Amino acid sequence: MLGEETTSGRPHLFGLRPPDLVAALAARGVECTDAESRRICAHFVSHGQTSLRTLRRPVRRPLREAVEAIFEREGLTLVERVRDDDDGFVKYLFRHADGALTEAVRIPLERAGRYTLCLSSQVGCAMRCGFCATGALGLRRNLRAWEIVAAFAGVRDDLAREHPEGRIHGAVFMGQGEPFHNYDEVVRAAQVLSDPCGGRITQEAITISTVGLVPQIRRYAAEGHVFRLIVSMTSAVAERRSTLLPVAGRFAVAEVVDALRAVQARHGGRVTVAWVLMGGVNHGEDELEALRTQFEGVPLRINLIDVNRWAEDGTRRATDEERHDFVGRLHAMGIATQRRYSGGRNKHAACGMLAARHEEQMGAVPREAPFQGLVELDA
């Protein structure tokens, strides 16, 4: 079944919603009622338990024995936990059963005790965007839905030990990997995270990011998902975008915008795009004209992210003057903006940095990159 398989060949409970559990057991000749499946899923996924023997309302013994014999329930191994005291971001590095390393980040929100979790969708990434450290690692493999949920559970359980009253209220797929390059598993993970017997996060508080894979954007619109969608644009000038986001060469800006029109038609409201702002690169009049032309008739919001410096080409962050000028001209065009804070820089917690630091020992060279955790500030 999609999302549940492990390296042992046994299905993992973290990849299942209650109807999936009923179906998986039925396929193995085990009866499970809807009520029992909800209690079992909530016990393991929502509450982080590892044995049905601690279930408050015990289930039938044959069912309990079948669940514990058939399904995996163990989480991921925590390799490193790094906290940036300047902004409160906490970065987690997890090791998977095959030795793969992925990251997750706990992001504090304005209200005390509330957090958003940034999740990875792949081990490495194949997109090779020019401003991203993860791309330097290359793509190793896709994550299964259960592994994504296991990362959520690992962070949630750590939060419970540190702040028993704290709660993860949102999730963003903006960590390692291109979520729509692993479409089925990411959507399944988001469904488990938003299930009342799973992560208990509302669908509207889950955001999926994509670099702009047009077929998957169209599929997403056609399937009618209500998770929030953000497309990494960074440049609306075709040649520049193809250089900064190599995969963009496969899809013209007009194709991306047309796919976003389908999303907007389904959900209404503004279309949101991410824009990694680089000084002297992507905030000039040519970008404004391209946005005006390409997004004509599309209500647009741009999430601005400050790029960090890396050693290879001297790319720099935009100055305050450059940023304010760009934002002012966007507002004059009727385009809303939000500024996303790049957290965790002081502790190598920008996206891809912990894994890259470990990979460096095996020959990979890490670069700084913007952490794409969703912390929105007034621009």
Residues classed as catalytic: 103, 351
Residue type, 54: T
Cα separation, 209 vs 177, in Å, equals 10
H-type alpha helices, the chain: 18-26, 34-41, 61-70, 145-162, 183-193, 214-223, 238-244, 253-267, 285-294, 320-332, 353-360
In terms of DSSP bridges, do strands 139-142 and 228-232 run parallel, antiparallel, or are they unpaired? unpaired
Q: What CA–CA distance (Å, rounded) separates 175 from 102?
A: 9
Distance between CA atoms of residues 263 and 366, nearest Å: 35
Using alpha carbons, select from 177, 126, 130 the residue that is nearest to residue 151: 177
Report DSSP letters for 168-233, one per residue: EEEEEE-SSS-GGGGHHHHHHHHHHHTSTTTT---GGGEEEEES--HHHHHHHHHHT--SEEEEE-
Residue at token pair 């839905």: 145
Contact 88/101 with Cβ under 8 angstroms? no
User: Exposure of 361 by Cβ count < 10 A (0-12 exposed, 13-18 middle, 19+ buried)?
Assistant: exposed
Q: Look up tokens 């299930």; give the residue.
A: 195
Residue in 317, 251, 344, 254 with CA at minimum distance from that of residue 291? 254
Taking each helix axis as running N to C, give the angle between helix 61-70 and helix 18-26, from 0 to 180 degrees, rounded to the nearest 10.
90
